A and B are shown apart, each in its own frame.
Chain A
Amino acid sequence: MRKKNIAILTVLSTLAIALSGCSGDKTANPSSTSEQTTGAEANGADSKADASKDSKARTDEEKNATLTVGIPQDLDGLDPHIVKAAGTREVLFNVYEGLVKPDSEGNINPAVASEYKVSEDGKTYTFTIRDGVKFHNDAVVTADDVVFSLNRYKETGASIFENVKSIEKADDKTVKIELNEANSEFITYMTVAIMPKDYKLADSMPVGTGPYKYVSRSPQENVVLEKFDDYWDADNAAHIGHVVFKIESNPDSVVMDLEGGSIDMFARVTSTQEAQLSKENFETYKGSMNLVQALYLNNESKPFNDVKVRQALCYAVDPSEIMSFVSDGEGYEVGSAMFPAFKKYFMEELNDVYKKDTDKAKKLLKEAGYPNGFSFTITVPSNYTQHVDTAEVIAEELKEIGVTAKIQQVEWNTWLENVYNGRKFESTVVGIDASTLNASSLLARYQSDSSGNFINFKNDDFDKKFKEALATVDDDKQTSAYKECEKILAQQAASVYIQDLPSFVVLNKKFTGYQFYPLYAQDIAKIRLAN
């Protein structure tokens, strides 16, 4: 009896020692890594063998495959006309399509519409519905569905539709949209999801025309999609049969779950997480987050109402220093409110308007009446590590010119209420993204009367140029007007523009083909099995 007890005891105590000996190090685990490697190799060999067979077998294999994508938060709803979160839009991108659809290059291509015509005066848009586009419920898309969907979206109060005079069905295959005023960017908004006419279950059972159809959803657990076999575009049809978007609400378990195999893909991992992953099993796709990260200054609060003070900060802050601290030197410098993915509008030369120059910064501060510097608060949403880190580097950099920055971390809701909607702040570090594929989604907020102008920027030249850009139908003129706008923002130092943050997407090597989009979209149809 005694002996037995002692044996149990020894086991227990060794267990205790083992428990206390293991630190929380998540990566150091050579045995498991090697085990997985052999698994992956075996898999690789399998698929190689398959590749030699006919493509039919491969298609079947892909159809039976399941891709599990980790997403950081649950969808805020399923109704495409109501949901707001970028994280929801990127999932629904696979289920819904509009008359037109963006591609990874940033072009707008016809989708549910096979073509569209714009009248001479830019006020009438005529869309021809593509033949044989099917909804996931097997119904064929008609002009009625399109008119219904656009009107439904209009009723949510979308601001772009204030300019729409009428949406009419011309015949079964044609829809005509009349605008009050010409707006050359109107077409970029026609990505509005098309759903069947009078469809009532949009918030619980989405039905669209995309390459994937909705299967089920469990709150805070997952969203399940399945390949849509009757997708209209054979060239861009989905490969992988089953897709599960799994909610990974705990960022600390992302690496563990990827290594353990419960998720195959995760977009936007941090550079630290990326470094922890085994290179044998995971491919990292490097792109950018497509946002403008800046130290946004409240142009109405003192001393930022003085352009010289704002410029002084621009001279004192060096984006490359921030990048090397925050993301190991990855990232794309920006000098105005435009990120590089918008190739047409991005002006690289604006990055050099303010080269780091502490003497110049000090001189400007002196001229503005702050020879001994001043102190101010940076309010940062605490859930965004990159922005918090950036604020810390900025605070260090500003010390060199005698300016003291206090960092105040706030919860996201507080940020929304006080900073964004209430405009009660001195400065903040965040990233601003574009919801549609056009320049005004980034620039419109700087108009002095815009509801999104949370930094209270006010400049008559800007307002004039921006209106000019919107009104013109001529593409070149418009582009140059937008570029003028960007220049004004840089020269007026509306804020301290920093960078477009790098984005790391990790994908298990069993799969391949991830593509970045210039806006929030995870195009799962592009992903296929690796061979």
Chain B
Amino acid sequence: MKYILKKTLMMLITLIVVSMLVFLAFNIIPGDPAARRLGTEATPQQLAALRKEMGLTDPLFVRYIRWATGFIHGDLGQSYSYGSVSKLLIDKIPITISMALMAFLIMVVVSIPLGIFTARHQGSVVDHVLLVVDQVVMAIPPFFSGILLTLIFGLTFRLFVPGSFVSWKTDMRGFISYLIFPAIAVALPKIAMSVKLLRGSVIEEMRKDYTRTAYSRGNTVRGVLYLHVLKNALIPVITFMGMALADMVSGSIVIEQVFSIPGLGRMLLVSINNRDYPVVQAIIMGVAILVMIVNWMVDIIYRIIDPRIESL
């Protein structure tokens, strides 16, 4: 109980710091949202009036408090160009989250068997070749593999039409199938990393005393691996995968650009460009909260797998 309390408190402090940093950052970087909106034809009077309307004339601290109170009450404020931020994000969150979850699923399904496989066949030709491939895939950033995937599966094999994103509201199947390739692009380097991690971890566990004991009790290789070793070997992998999930959400910023997906990432980029503070703040806070929740979940899963891990 104390553990959870401590964790929650830490979470709150982190959130406050993050929100303050975002606020501060926008105060430092040049660019005036009112000028941005009115463009080159604005008169000084119009600018002043709009600044006042946007509430930009108040001191930074006052603006921060106003925003924070709203945020706590669930009011994310008004975007400068899209109306209610909450309504806007409700539209965008499912896109990015679906993509991240698909990528996560692909990662889990591919990397765990592959990791165990390479560990079991350690030192064989297959293992060596896989390691090389693994290294290469790890080195390719998602935006580049995204371009390659578009080129190969989009333009050559015509499995999907680049840029033909459809909303889940109009066509659920089209939506899912369009997201498969970006999800693969996001998942690829993560797969490579977790395969390597799992392989190393399994090999290490296999060398430990308890494994020898398990063998001496007459267990088969398979039995030892799946009943004893895997449980321990998975712990570092789960930490990694948890962080990878959070990373996939934030990494969508780039991949959404490559595949022209109008999700959270693109919204964030555009809003930064337009100095649409309320939207940027909401998205960054959202991502921060998500990262923390994932971390919290990782902690919980840890304990289920290994009850020895106590409140630290």
List A residues at the B interface (Cβ < 8 Å): 5-6, 9, 12-13, 16, 18-20, 22, 24, 26, 29, 31-32, 35, 73-74, 76-77, 84-85, 156-157, 159, 203-204, 218-221, 246-250, 253, 256-257, 259-263, 411-414, 416-418, 420-421, 432, 435, 451-452
Could you mark each residue 53-90 of chain B with 1 if its beta carbon is under 8 Å from any beta carbon of chain A, else 0?
00000000000000000000000000001110000100
Output the least CB separation between A446 and chain B (Å). 14
Q: Which residues of B contact A414 (CB under 8 A)?
A: 30-31
Could you mark each residue 184-225 of chain B with 1 if its beta carbon is under 8 Å from any beta carbon of chain A, else 0?
000000000000000000000000000000000000000000
Contact: A248 with B163, CB < 8 Å? yes
Contact: A31 with B156, CB < 8 Å? yes
Q: Can you name the residue of chain B whose Cβ is closest to the Cβ of A20?
A: B136
B8 at the interface (CB under 8 A from A): no
Q: A12-B133, A159-B43, A250-B257 are in contact. Are A29 and B161 (CB under 8 A)?
A: no
Output the least CB separation between B196 and chain A (Å). 15
Contact: B161 with A32, CB < 8 Å? no
Q: A12-B133, A413-B275 are in contact. Are A19 and B83 (CB under 8 A)?
A: no
Query: In the complex, which of the residues A20, A248, A253, A411 has the most CB atoms of chain B within 10 Å of its own CB atom?
Result: A253
B45 at the interface (CB under 8 A from A): yes
B301 at the interface (CB under 8 A from A): no
Contact: A249 with B163, CB < 8 Å? no
A32 to B162 alpha-carbon distance, docked (Å): 13
How many A-B Cβ pairs are below 8 Å? 150
Contact residue among A6, A19, A420 (Cβ-Cβ distance under 8 Å from B148):
A19
Contact: A259 with B267, CB < 8 Å? no
What are 24 contact pairs spanning A and B, CB under 8 A?
A: A19-B140, A22-B151, A29-B155, A31-B156, A84-B41, A203-B83, A218-B167, A219-B82, A220-B267, A220-B270, A246-B163, A248-B260, A249-B260, A250-B258, A256-B150, A257-B162, A260-B155, A260-B164, A262-B161, A413-B35, A413-B275, A418-B30, A451-B44, A452-B40
A421 to B257 alpha-carbon distance, docked (Å): 31
Per the 8 Å Cβ criterion, residues 136-185 of B in contact with A are 136-137, 140, 144-145, 147-148, 150-152, 154-156, 158, 161-165, 167
Q: A24-B147, A221-B167, A417-B30 are in contact. Are A260 and B154 (CB under 8 A)?
A: yes
Per the 8 Å Cβ criterion, residues 117-132 of B in contact with A are 117, 121, 126, 129-130
Per the 8 Å Cβ criterion, residues 12-57 of B in contact with A are 30-32, 35-47, 49
Query: In the complex, which of the residues B133, B148, B151 has the most CB atoms of chain A within 10 Å of its own CB atom?
Result: B151
Q: Which residues of B contact A22 (CB under 8 A)?
A: 148, 151-152
A323 to B23 alpha-carbon distance, docked (Å): 43
Contact: A76 with B81, CB < 8 Å? yes
A195 to B43 alpha-carbon distance, docked (Å): 25
A452 to B41 alpha-carbon distance, docked (Å): 7
Contact: A253 with B162, CB < 8 Å? yes
A26 to B156 alpha-carbon distance, docked (Å): 11
Q: A219-B262, A413-B275 are in contact. Are A32 and B31 (CB under 8 A)?
A: no
Q: Which residues of B contact A32 (CB under 8 A)?
A: 155-156, 158
Contact: B163 with A263, CB < 8 Å? yes
Question: Known contacts A157-B45, A413-B275; can you find 10 more A-B pairs with CB under 8 A?
Answer: A9-B129, A16-B136, A31-B156, A35-B158, A77-B81, A84-B42, A220-B266, A253-B163, A417-B35, A451-B42
Contact: A84 with B39, CB < 8 Å? yes
Could you mark each residue 266-310 of chain B with 1 if its beta carbon is under 8 Å from any beta carbon of chain A, else 0?
110110011100000000000000000000000000000000000
Q: Can you name the residue of chain B whose Cβ is closest to the Cβ of A420?
A: B40
Contact residue among B32, B46, B82, B154 (Cβ-Cβ distance under 8 Å from A157):
B46
B247 at the interface (CB under 8 A from A): no
Q: A19-B148, A248-B260 are in contact. Are A259 and B155 (CB under 8 A)?
A: yes
A250 to B30 alpha-carbon distance, docked (Å): 23
A451 to B32 alpha-carbon distance, docked (Å): 17
Q: Which residues of B contact A257 (CB under 8 A)?
A: 162-163, 260
